[in-house]
A and B are shown apart, each in its own frame.
Chain A
Amino acid sequence: MNLLVFAAVLAAMLAVRFFLKNLHILVWLALWWVALFVVFKYGIEPPLPASIVNMFMAIVTLALLAYLSATTSYLRQATEAVVRFMVDRRFTVPLVVVLLTVPALVAWQVYAERTARPTPPVSGRTIHPPPPNTISFKGKTIDLVNGENPYRALETSDPEAFAAHVENGRRIYYENCVFCHGDNMEGDGLFAHGYDPLPANFNDPTTIAMLQETYLFWRIAKGGPGLPSESTPWASAMPAWENFLTEEEIWDVILFLYDYTGFRPRAREEIH
C-alpha cells in the first residue's frame, strides 16, 4: 500500500468537500471516479494488473451511474447540464474543444497501442489445475481422492521419525527445488526470473494451504508435462520429479513444505 497516495487523495477530497460547496453532481461523481482511479492505479503496491484496474473501474462506473440515476432530481440536474452544454451558445467553444479532444484521445490510444513494443500475450493462469483421480507412479497406483501422505500420521504417533522425514524433505528441497522456488519458498529462486509464469510462492496462503497433500504429490511427481489437457497451452517449466525422486522423497518434501511455511494441508471433508 502506498499510504502517501491514499493520504493525498483523502486530503484532496476533504478539501473539495469543505471548500467547494454546491458542486454540481456531475462534477462530484467525476471527482470520485478520478480519486478511485488514482487509488487503484497508484495507491496499491505492487501495482495492480491493468485487467484488474479496468474491472474495478467498471464496477465503480456502474455504481456511480446507479447513484446518479437513483435520485430523479440528480438525474434531471445531469441531463439538463448535458443538454445546456450541447445547445447553449455560451458553451460553443468548450463543446468544440470536447468534440475535437475525444476523437484525438481515441486516435492517440490507437496510435499508442499500434506502436507499442511487442510483448507476450496477456493470459490468465489456472492456479490450481484439476487433478486426476489416480496416477501411476513407477507402476504403483496412487489414489489422489482418498489417499494420504503415509508419513503424516507419524506427526502424532512418532514425532522423532516424523522429524527425520521432514529433515529429509529439507535436504531434498535445497538440493532440487530451491533454484526456482527460492530460499524462503517465495517463488524467487535464482532461475525464477527466466520463467513465465513464475514459480509458485508457497508462502502465499492461497497455494499449498488450500490443497490436500495428494494434490502436491501429483504436481511434484508429474510436473509440467503431466498437466491436464484442458486450459492448454500450459507453460510450466516444472520437471516431472518422478524421474529423479522416490515416492518417499516426494512425500518427505511435502511434509517439509508444510512444516516450513507453517500451513496445514487441507483435510478431506466428510459432510454428506
Chain B
Amino acid sequence: MKHRKALSKPFLAVSFLLLCVFVFVWDGAQAAGSSMPLLQDAGGYRPFPIEGISSRVAMWVVAELHLMFAAFVLAVPLFALIIEFIGYKTGDRRYDELAYEFTKLLSVSFSFTATLGALLTFGLIVLYPKLTEYLMSIFSWTFFPYVLLFFLEAIFLYSYYYGWGKMNPKVHLLLGVLLNLTGTAIMFIADAWLTFMNTPAGIDEAGNLVSLWGAINNYTWMPINIHRLIANVAFGGSIAAAYGAYKFLGARTEAEKAHYDWMGYVGNFIAISALLPLPFAGYWLGREIYAFSQTLGITLMGGTFSWLFIIQAVLIGNLFLAANYYLWLGMERIPGSERYRKFIKYLLASITACFIVWATPHSLVATVEEARQMGGAHHPVLGVLGVMSAKNTAVNILILTTFISFLLYRRSNKEATVSWAKAGKTAQFAIFAVVVGIVVFLGVYGYFVEATVRIGLSVPQVLSVLFAMVSVTIIDIFLFRDAKITGPIQWGKMPNRAQYALFFIAITFAWTMGLMGYVRAGMRQHWHVYGVLEDTSPDAFTPTLGFASNVISVTVLIFFTFIAIVFWITGLSGRKAWVARPDVPPEDETAQALPGDGDAQPAKQPAWEGAAS
C-alpha cells in the first residue's frame, strides 16, 4: 500500500502540528485562567485566553487577514470581468479561459473571507464589548443591508462561477457586473465603520448618534473607499500574477509555461496599472486626515509614524523597481526588443534617483557628532529631499518612468508604418519632456510658497502626468495600428527569476497593506473612536514600530500560507481522477472502493505524480 504510506506521512505531520497547537492553546488558557478569569468583563474588555498574546494583537492579526482576503475577493471579480469582456469582444478564447481561471480562485477565498469576518466579529464582541456596543449604537441600521448584500454576493459569485460557459455571455457578464457592484457596496459599508473610528462625525458631544448619513459620510470615508478600490485591484492583480508564477514554475509542458507566463503578465499588468494612480489616492486620504485634525496629520506624517512611511517608501520603491524589472526581462521574449535594451540603464537611473529621494527621511537618525556637523537636526540637502514637494516630484517621475518601460515593452516587436511615424514619436517625446519639466518646476516652486499652496501644487503635477499617459497612449495606438510585426511574443520563454519578481511584488503589496493598515488604526493612539471613546484597556498604548513590523510580517506569512492552501485546493480541480495502480493488487475492500470515478482510465503512473497542473 504505497499510496497509503505516502499519505500517512503528511497526515502524521498535520496531526502532530494540530496536537501541538491544542496543547499550546490549552496551556495558555490554563495559564491565563490562573491569573484572570477567562470571561471577566473588566471595564468593557476581556483578555485573550492565551498568555503572551494580547486581545489587541489577536484582533489585529484576524482583522488584517480578513482585510487581505476581502481585498482579494473584491479585486479578482473586477478584473475577471474586464478580461471576460475583452474575450467576449475580441472572440479570443484565451481571455475567457484566463478569466475563468482567475474566478476559480474565488470560491475558496470567499469562504476564507467570510470565516475570518465572522471570527473578527466574534472577537470584537467577546474581547471588546464596550467598543462593539458603541459601534452598534451608531451603525446598527447598516448591518441589515450589509448582510443582505452578502447574500446577494454569494448568489452572484456562485452563479458567476458555476454558470461559466453555460449561460448567454451577456447574461453572464451582467452577473459579473452585479457581483462587482455588491462587493463594492459591502466594502463601502465596512469602510464607514472603520473610518468613523478615525474621523468620527454625525454625533453630538456626548457621542450619541445625530445623523447616520453624517457618521457614514465622515471625512475619510470616500478617500478610503477610492483608495481601497484601487489598492484592492493592485493587490488582487499581484496575487493572481503570483498564482501564474507558481503555476509557471511547476509547468511541465511548453504550452503550460506559455499560458502561465501570459497569466502572470496579465495579473502583473493589472496590478501595476492600478499601482500608478494609487499614490494620488493615498495623498488625497492624507490631506483629508490633516484637514480633519492636524494632530492626526502630524501623528501620521511628522511624528510617531513618520518612519513607517520611510519603510513604506522603500517597499513601494521596490515595487516599482520589481515591476520595471519584470517588464525588462519580459522584453527578452519579444523579437525586435534588442533595439530598446540600451534605454534600460537610463530608466534604471531615473528609478534609482526617484527611489532615493522618496526614501529620504525627514527625521534623520544621526549621532551627536553628525548632527553637529550638520548644524542641527536638519541636513541642508536632505532637508530639501525629505519634504512632500520632493516626494511628490519623485513619485510622479517614477510613475512616468514605469509608463515608459511599459511603452517600450509594448512596441518591442512593432515597427510603425504610418507616414507620420517620426512626427508621432517626436510628439510623444515632446509631451514627456514638457510634463517632466512641469513636474520638476512645480516641485521646486513648492519650496518658495506657503504650505497650503504647496499642497495644492500636487494637483497640476498629477494632472500633467495623467495627461502625458493618456495622450501618449492615444498617439501610440494610432502610431502602431498597422505596424510591421517583427515576431510574435514567445510566451513561456521567460527566465524563472521573473516569476520570483512576481512573488516579490505580491508579498510587498501585502506587507505594505499591513503596514499602512497599522498606521491608519494606530494614529488614533489611545482612542477606539478618536476623541469620543477612549481605549482604557491595558493595550492602550502605541506599540513600537519594531513590534508592529513583526506582527505584520507574521500576518503576511500566515496570509500567504492560506493563499498557498487556496492555490492548492484550486489546483485540485484540474487534476486527473485518482485511480489505483493497476500493477499493485488491492489488499482490502476499502482500497478497491477508492477509485470513485468510474470513467477514469487507469494511469500508467500514480495520478498525483503525473498531474500536469
Contacts and interface: CB of A to CB of B under 8 A. Distances in A.
Contacts of B351: 63
B372 A198 contact: yes
A114 to B, nearest CB: 17
Contacts of A270: 291
Nearest to A198: B376
B451 A130 contact: no
Interface of A is mostly: loop
Contacts of B294: 131, 144-145, 211-212, 214-215, 266, 268
Interface in B392-438: none
B95 to A, nearest CB: 29
Nearest to A1: B381
A109 interface: no
Nearest to A124: B365
Contacts of A50: 367, 370
A143 to B, nearest CB: 11
Interface of A: 1, 44, 46-52, 55-56, 59-60, 62-63, 66-67, 69-72, 119-120, 122-133, 144-145, 186-188, 193, 196-201, 204-207, 209-212, 214-215, 230-231, 263-272
Most buried by A among B321, B367, B372, B452: B367
Contact of A230 (B365, B387, B455, B525): B525
B378 interface: yes
Contacts of B107: none
B308 to A, nearest CB: 12
A119 B369 contact: yes
Nearest to A69: B497
Contacts of B542: 230
Given A198-B376, A205-B387, A264-B450, A230 B304 contact: yes
Given A46-B374, A124-B307, A263-B450, A71 B341 contact: yes
B376 A124 contact: no
B537 interface: no
B383 A204 contact: yes
Given A47-B373, A201-B375, A210-B451, A67 B362 contact: no
A59 B317 contact: yes
Interface of B: 219, 287-288, 290-296, 298-299, 302-304, 306-307, 314, 317-318, 321, 325, 328-329, 332, 341, 344-345, 348, 351-352, 355-356, 359-384, 386-387, 447, 450-452, 455, 495, 497, 525, 531, 541-542
Contact of A231 (B303, B332, B450): B303
Contacts of B374: 46, 49
B402 to A, nearest CB: 13
Given A193-B372, A212-B294, A204 B363 contact: no
Given A120-B368, A188-B376, A196-B368, A272 B291 contact: yes
Contacts of A126: 302-304, 306, 363
Contacts of A124: 307, 361, 363-365
Contacts of B451: 209-210, 264-267
8 contacts: A1-B381, A63-B351, A70-B325, A124-B361, A126-B306, A145-B295, A206-B386, A269-B455
B381 A186 contact: no
Contacts of B365: 49, 51-52, 122-124
A46 B294 CA distance: 32
Contacts of B290: 269
Contact of B291 (A49, A72, A268): A268
A188 B384 CA distance: 20
Contacts of A272: 219, 288, 291-292
Contacts of B497: 69
B387 A210 contact: yes
A266 B451 CA distance: 5
B355 A46 contact: no
Given A130-B304, A204-B383, A199 B450 contact: no
Contacts of A120: 367-368
A52 B382 contact: yes
Nearest to B453: A264
Nearest to A120: B368
Contacts of A215: 294, 298
A28 to B, nearest CB: 10
A138 to B, nearest CB: 22
B379 A48 contact: yes
Nearest to A201: B376
A133 B344 contact: no
A63 B348 contact: yes
Given A51-B364, A264-B450, A269-B455, 17 more contacts: A49-B365, A66-B325, A123-B365, A124-B363, A126-B363, A131-B295, A131-B298, A145-B295, A196-B368, A198-B372, A198-B375, A205-B383, A210-B451, A267-B450, A268-B291, A269-B287, A271-B291
B372 A70 contact: no
B298 A49 contact: no
Contact of B383 (A188, A206, A267): A206
A129 B306 CA distance: 10
Given A50-B370, A206-B383, A209-B450, A129 B377 contact: no
A45 to B, nearest CB: 8
A1 B360 CA distance: 17
A126 B306 CA distance: 8
Contacts of B369: 119
A63 B352 contact: yes
Contacts of B531: 133
Contacts of B345: 67
A231 B304 contact: yes
Given A70-B329, A120-B368, A48 B382 contact: yes
Contacts of A267: 450-452
Given A49-B370, A119-B368, A126-B304, A269 B295 contact: no
Contacts of B364: 49, 51-52, 124-125
A59 B368 contact: no
B383 to A, nearest CB: 5
